[in-house]
Amino acid sequence: MPRESIGAKTVRTRAIIDGLRRTYPDAHCELNFSTPLELLVATILSAQCTDRQVNLVTADLFRKYCSAADFARAAPAELENDIRRLGFFRSKARNLRSCCQSLLDHHGGEVPRTMEHLTALAGVGRKTANVVLGNAFGINEGVVVDTHVGRLARRLALTRHQDPVKVERDLARLIPREDWTLFSHWLIWHGRRRCRARKPDCPGCEIRHLCPSAGKQPR
């Protein structure tokens, strides 16, 4: 395939956005939450877990722990037990307690609204911060790059990189800022429903005509 110019790639990306917008008009974050704190906690818990697994755990967790103080002051063994169904539950419990203690110490128990302050919290990297900023506060600070987003961005030839920071950088150059949060949701929904890792449904894909990898066996 000949090398695609940045202008041509930008035009193709806009067409991909239009196709995904039509296909998934109701795309949204599939982690259940009602407050910024709940989304922050759920996103920390979602590492190496499915949203469905996290939602099953947080259904009870958010009834028991209603504030940053509740998490910060939880007995370590008790909090570990409350999230035991999830992978890495010990480190996640430790991060939750430390993160929420920082919220109490430095932010009045509230979730901050900046990338700098969020990524200073235990267990919070750029991806988690982007999830919280985009979905809890409507702030398009960056593009969430999870497994689905990275995989589909490469299949769609929007990036060649594996590193999430470099993938995010490439996507941010191609996507209008107002679509940064939604674009992640569109790719995640498409990855779960159509472009699966092992057996993508290329014949049924709504953006097949825009994908250089269509019909090719995933590597």
What are the residue numbers of the active site?
127, 146
- Burial level of 70, CB count in 10 A (0-12/13-18/19+)? middle
Q: Residue 30: enclosing H or E segment and its boundaries?
A: none
Decide: 21 and 186 in contact? Cβ < 8 Å: yes
Q: How far apart are the first and last CA of the chain?
A: 17
CA distance linking residue 67 with residue 156, whole number of Å: 41
Q: How far is the C-alpha of 104 from the C-alpha of 120, rounded, in Å?
A: 14
DSSP string, 110-178: SPPSSHHHHHTSTT--HHHHHHHHHHHS----S----HHHHHHHHHTTS----SHHHHHHHHHHHS-GG
Which residue's structure tokens are 């999230």? 83
Q: Is 198 helix (H, G, I), strand (E, B) or coil?
A: coil
Helix (H, G, I), strand (E, B) or coil at 204: coil
